[in-house]
Amino acid sequence: MLKNVEAQSCYYGMDTVITSKAYGRYAKRALKAAAKEALRLEKLLSRFIPESDISRINRSAGLNWEQISDDTLEVLSQAGKLSNYSKGLLDITIAPLVDLWRAGKDTLEIPDDLRIKQLLPLVDHKGLELNFHGKAAILHKTGQAIDLGGIGKGYAGDKLLKLYKKYDISSAFVNIGGNVLTLGRKPDGSKWQVGISHPREENHLIGTVEAADKAVVTSGDYQRYFKDSQGKRQHHILDPSTGYPAESGLVSVTIVSDSSTAADGLSTVLFVAGKEQGIELLKNVPNTEAIFIDTDLVVHITAGLTDCFHAVRDIKVKVLN
């Protein structure tokens, strides 16, 4: 009879570093299969791979329907539902503006306001239509393009956890570029400790979350940003309604959820929404908790995290009602 073993892996996929730790009789096989799965999903969902489903949809914007895989159809469907629920705070058709700001990062200058306003009409998730029976998708506006940066890694995380379960893995910890997923508890029976980065002190934590069978995903203004010629921080989380980096009074949002896809998308939604609106949006989302860090570095946690969030040093924590 095979004994339980612990296996670890580290590789590059989904445009980031993926580290995994699994415990079970088939742990090594599971990690090898997971690496192949991550590569398969990247080939479908990355807009930077010319023959991916997303690239083909983008090239055919305003012209033709494109046949897509079940996975692409599912992630686009989930993104659409979250866009509708949040009234557009998450919009995967934001790619033209993402590219514009990426060019600004190279020159350390914010894009021209007129150019932003010209591109804003292209940011419209309702311009994406899905045919579930025919497994096809189309963007109806010429120039539109999809970017799954706000939800793609989350979807991949859910797929990897399902794969681990097929290999009878009893305990696992996966980190997809900061998107953390936990399966079961640690082999010793304790919960996994997931670090929450300090948004203003590099390589320091502001606290930890105890997690088991949960996804823990953070969106923050410190992850990808540049300082313009005036010294202002210009981060990568854009407000789809303005075309500029979101200014919601928050510097970081962490979501703790049963679903990695939901956690990934909601962390972006709540960052753009701000604390007050974010709390209202969470009320109708079951089994989901949040950590908001405001510009004064005060940590606000939802009530369900009272016993499992642990701040470090003298960080001020407030529990939300």
Decide if 155 contacts 262 (C-beta within 8 A): no
Strands of the 192-197 sheet, one edge to the other:
192-197, 205-211, 309-311
Containing 319, the helix (H) or strand (E) segment is strand 317-320
Torsion, Cα 34 36 42 48, to 10 degrees, reads 140
HEC string for 133-193: CCCEEEECCCCCCCCCCCCHHHHHHHHHHHHHHHCCCCEEEEEECCEEEEECCCCCCCCEE
Q: Which of 299, 222, 219, 220 has the alpha carbon at shortest distance from 264? A: 219
User: Residue 204: helix, strand or coil by DSSP?
Assistant: coil
Q: How many CB atoms lie within 10 A of CB 10?
A: 12
Residue with tokens 């962390």: 267
Taking the CA atoms of 181, 186, 189 and 192 in sequence, report the sign of the dihedral they define: negative
Return binding residues for Mg(2+). Answer: 150, 264, 268
